[in-house]
Amino acid sequence: MNNTLTTTILIVEDELIAAESLALDLKKLGYHINAVVNSGEKAISQVEKSPPDLILMDIMLKGKMDGITAAQKIYHQWKIPIIYLSAYADTDTLQRAKATPVYGYLVKPYKIADISTTISMALAKYREDKHTEEELCAEKKINQLKSRALATASHDLRTPLTNILGYTELIRDYGDRISPDKKERYFNFIKSAVGKMKDSLEDLLLISRAEEGKVTLYPQNFNLVEYLEILVEEYKNLSDEHKIKLSTNDNQYNVCLDQKILNHILHNLLSNAIKYSPQGGEVRLKLDKNEGEIILEIEDDGIGIPEDYQDKLFHLFERGNNVGNIKGNGLGLSIVKKAVELCQGNIFVESEENKGSKFTVILPRVSS
């Protein structure tokens, strides 16, 4: 509904001469006539077949269904703006008309200037209502997301908090009887649990801010190869069953990226590669590059992704039907997708069930 040249109008009027006169006036004003019908039933049938942008509906239609009933059904199902046409109506009928979603009235006989003004105002009001409804829907979606994210955070933080509490109580109560090696292990468990909590909160915060459009990038210059080497060493220490391999042809490759956003991408992809390779094996991280682009590949030999799930792969709270007892909250890949998009990059996946997965992330070398 941009202008009169593209606005289509359905006329519902059971007086043939009045309908033809109105159609002629609308054509003079530049509107396109969707159809002219003479009953509420035919109006509903026409809308089902070819929805117009606006309906001019006579209140006092003959037959089993008057204009008000037809208008209620049409607006409820299709949300098409309706202007009532009337010459005279009793008080009860007018009260019924006022109780329906209506965008204007035209009183017979119509003046062409009144038709033009009423339609213009109705379309403007409808656009405003639609915009408001979209904003409310977006706000509702964000609130639902926050509620679900809060529930997820509560669930994800409970285990590491329990572990932290347990190990600190052990150290407090039996510290003088625990060997230095065991004590060191307990401290490492606590450090790991705190790290998991921090990562969970950072991920949830990123999703919330990204949904609200409040993420600001802070790119900085650093050597990507050195960054990846440190990252790989960190993951080597986290798993004895997996071999983490870094493949790159350079010792130095300077980039300008937001490291925190890059952390979200790589930590989630590497964690998933390990998590969904429960039998162990290799996890391969490869750095390649084109002119102005960074290409990062993360590949594993794990359980893979079912073909029928791959379309929902990056949706919030979605998990494949082959994960079994592997714990997870369905946030990781949606966070990766958001982070990649924030960097104006792309992500692709190749996977086959029981044959592993390969994620390819392409980022600009310099954040804009």
What is the percentage of the chain residues whose pLDDT exceeds 70? 89
Q: Take residue 20 and report the two structure tokens written for it.
A: 């033809």
Q: How is domain 8-110 classified at the CATH fold level?
A: Rossmann fold (3.40.50)
Which CATH number among 3.40.50.620, 3.30.420.10, 3.30.565.10, 3.20.20.100 corresponds to the domain 220-364?
Answer: 3.30.565.10
pTM comes to: 0.53
pLDDT tens sequence across 266-290 = 998 998 999 889 888 999 999 998 8
pLDDT digits (tens, 9 = 90+) for 189-216: 888 788 777 777 777 777 767 766 778 8
Residue 2 has pLDDT above 50, yes or no: no
Residue 328 confidence (pLDDT): 59
CA geometry: angle 186, 190, 195, nearest 5 deg: 145
Strand-pairing partners, residue 242, are: 281
| Least confident among 51-65, 181-195, 223-237, 277-291 | 181-195
HSE (CB half, 13 Å, CA atoms) of 207?
A: 29
- In the chain, where are the structural domains located? 8-110, 139-212, 220-364
Categorize the per-residue pLDDT at 1 as very low, low, confident or very high, splitting at 50, 70 and 90.
Answer: very low
Reply yes or no on whether the pLDDT at 338 is more than 60.
Answer: yes
pLDDT of residue 255: 94
Tell me the residue ranges of DSSP E strands in 175-301.
220-223, 242-247, 254-257, 281-290, 293-300
Residue 17: exposure state from Cβ atoms within 10 A (0-12, 13-18, ≥19): exposed
**All residues at 6 or more sequence positions from 100 whose CB lies less than 8 Å from its CB, including other chains:** 68, 71, 72, 75, 82
Which residue type, as a one-letter code, is found at position 304? G
Fold of domain 139-212: Helix Hairpins (1.10.287)
